Amino acid sequence: MNKFQLPSDSKLRRPEFLFGVATSSYQIEGGAQLGGRTPSIWDTFCNKPGAVDNADNGDVACDHFHLWQQDIEMIQGLGVDAYRLSMAWPRIVPHDGQVNEEGLKFYEQIIDECHARGLKVFVTLYHWDLPQYLEDKGGWLNRETAYKFEYYAQVVSEYFGDKIDSYATLNEPFCASYLGYRWGIHAPGIKGEREGFLSAHHLMLAHGLAMPHLRKNAPNSMHGCVFNATPAYPLNDSDIAAAEYSDAEGFHWFMDPVLKGEYPQAVLDRQSHNMPMILEGDLDIIRSDLDFIGINFYTRCVVRFDENGDIQEVPQPTNEHTFIGWEIYPQALTDLLLRLNERYDNLPPLYITENGAAGEDNCVNGEVNDQQRVMYFQTHLEALDAAIKAGVKVDGYFAWSLMDNFEWAYGYKQRFGIVHVDYQTQKRTLKQSALAYRNMLLERREENQ
């Protein structure tokens, strides 16, 4: 398949529907000790024995710090409308209260180059690279970190204003809190039920504190937040409550306070002994009108209650999986969007801010034949189209990821890119999925001219 097929009645053919590619700072930038950047929790975590596969780290990554110009040119060549990136907090505020002008200018040149090439710029302020100096004071377990994020958001929005087309406060607070502070498999590697929920509350508080500054300093930009969602399905009819609870703890816990001004009662009840201190007024701060919500979707989970009454995920070995071991189940994307549309009567427009697949990709004679990923994108675009036709307002789609990169605790073994990266030479090679994406977008552009 040399291009993704969109039927003639596809809502994705609309000229106003946005297509893009996405990356994040620590995963691609490198330049860890350059440009005035100080360490993040991921620099520290990567140095812990056994924390990251193959003891990989993001010191160099894709060397986007030096190769950003060719990367932006490559993005334009794909025919996309927008580029989603994140800024490295420790590159902009390298020490408490100190602003690094060099860091701001690094991102400014990228933003300017994108605009010069006709690309909209979607910026995420926090994609997990908390400055280590804040972690040394407790990180997201310290309520003060929420106010440090408010300051960082103020610095960025005052400097860039409306030059950034779209601001997202947080990327996947589920991962930052649960993976980082509850289960300990991401930086900073802390394990504790109470810690997981406390860090989650402080992250959402940070979002709420930042929003007024973003609105004030960039009144013509879009402002939102990005959540990951892995919708749950019951193994049997007796497990419906297990699936409902899995969704409540997995993503309603983060979305409800923003959209409804409350936390899900099911989680408050079940985790009552692990609940954080929620001060009076906190939920009023977190509750905010958003211009958009980003949804990152990759797979589903199938769950049941085990003999202890705990939620247990049940593997589905007979179904197709990606290299990372995640089930391919595109119907779940349609189901998820319909569920969200039903749950929230004030749901703002959605963007699929991440969607993609990891593959065991090899470059052979200058080509990367990633047919599973090609079919993954094809079927998920169809699933997205079905949700839109059913009444869900979705305004854009970003493929994850632009290129192979540092995949957190998996290191460099897991390749999510539509562009292959040779980490020895930093050579970029468009995979078949990139060519199929580009060809679809070029065809769409010709139609809409």
Catalytic site residue from 29, 113, 354, 382: 354
The question of whether 172 is a catalytic residue gets the answer: yes
Give the Å distances, CA to CA, from 445 to 10, 16, 70, 341: 14, 11, 23, 29
Label residues 225-234 b or e (16+ Cβ within 10 Å = b). bbbbbbbbbb
Q: Is 313 a catalytic residue?
A: no
Check the annotation: does 298 bind a ligand.
yes
d(CA 228, CA 101): 32
- The reply to whether 400 sits in an annotated binding site is yes
Cβ atoms of 128 and 26 within 8 Å: the answer is yes
Prior bond of 401 cis (ω within 30°): yes
Task: Write down the catalytic residue from 172, 195, 249, 382.
Answer: 172
Q: Are 417 and 405 in contact (CB under 8 A)?
A: yes
Q: Is 128 annotated as a binding residue?
A: no
Instruction: Look up residue 372 and give its two tokens.
Output: 């599973």
Cα–Cα distance, 287 to 283 (Å, whole number): 6
**Where does residue 246 rank: exposed (0-12), middle (13-18), buried (19+ CB within 10 A)?**
buried
| 341 in a labelled binding site | no
- Does 407 count as an annotated binding residue? yes
- The full length of the chain comes to 449
Q: What is d(CA 167, CA 399) in angstroms, rounded to the nearest whole number?
A: 18
Annotated binding site: 27, 127, 171, 298, 400, 407-408
Q: Which residues are known to be catalytic?
A: 172, 354
Annotated binding site for substrate: 27, 127, 171, 298, 400, 407-408
